[in-house]
Amino acid sequence: MDPDLDLVLERGSKPLHLTIAEQLAATIASGTLAPGMRLPPERQLAESLGVSRMTVRQALGDLERDGLLRRVVGRSGGTFVREPEAAAAAGSASTATGGISAELRRRGGGTGVESISAEVEPAGKRVAAALDLKRSEKVVVITRLRLASGKPLAVERTSLSARRFSDIEDMDLSGSLYDLMGDGFGLRPVCVSERLELVDARPADARALGVRREAPLFLVERIGYAADGTPVEFARDRFRADRTHLEIDSSMASE
């Protein structure tokens, strides 16, 4: 049975889907929504909150990417609160979409995002190689600020093929990029490969994140792949090291 959520939507200056995501994250943290519990259908949530289904879908997409929810298709499917073991498994280097960035956002409490810029530019050597493009091809570089309780958590810089994602730079980028990539273009990443390293904050990062120059940041470099294996996303996310941590559970094979 779906839980009877008592959510009161307080309309303020921030986008509605961010407010909804924050309230749902709070109910998960408090245990009102326990691991494995199924959320009410999107239609029911939208009606109870007085918003559109797209707004609810954006909120659920943010929480799914943050590792708090999982979606199951089929007759017995729906949107479920992720089990702790499943959330911890998101820290592996190559896994279903989520991965290290999603785990760091979850550990840091990230629920909000602000769009900084979206620019079309020639693909550099590294980006072209990651997305299987020619150096002359254009990419859309989307820069966003991830927030936790209204405070900066990470700077996310995502490069997408301008040919595959035509005019995405003119669309609403304040919600889930993965939902937009999937619903608008049929190229939602279904698995990712990620690399983690510790780097110094560059001047632009320091200003955006509110840290001193050369402060330590977690850099997560990610390539996201569509269902047919096409690389569709190249991202470099920089997280404040003082607001995030990573835990990975693993079993040791006998030698």
Domains of the chain: 1-86 (1.10.10.10), 108-240 (3.40.1410.10)
| pLDDT single digits (tens) 119-171 | 999 999 999 999 999 988 999 999 999 888 788 999 999 999 999 999 999 99
Q: What is the pTM of this model?
A: 0.61
Instruction: With beta carbons less than 8 A apart as the criterion, state whether 101 and 235 touch.
Output: yes
Which of helix, strand or coil describes residue 182?
helix
Rounded CA gap, 208 and 152, in Å?
7
Rounded CA gap, 222 and 123, in Å?
16
Q: Nearest 5°: phi and psi at 240?
A: -65, 120
Instruction: With beta carbons less than 8 A apart as the criterion, state whether 140 and 232 touch.
Output: no
Q: Kindly give the parts of the chain with pLDDT less than 70.
A: 1-14, 73-77, 83-111, 245-255
From residue 21, alpha-carbon distances to 74, 192, 205 in Å are: 24, 23, 25
pLDDT the model gives residue 25 = 83
Rounded CA gap, 254 and 65, in Å?
34
Rounded CA gap, 187 and 164, in Å?
8
Size (the chain), residues: 255
Of the candidates 60, 72, 70, the one whose C-alpha atom is nearest the C-alpha of residue 24 is: 60
pLDDT the model gives residue 141 = 97
In the Cβ-directed half-sphere of 5, how many Cα atoms lie within 13 Å? 28
Q: Where are the alpha helices (DSSP H) in the chain?
A: 16-30, 42-49, 53-65, 84-89, 99-108, 125-131, 177-185, 203-209
pLDDT the model gives residue 86 = 42
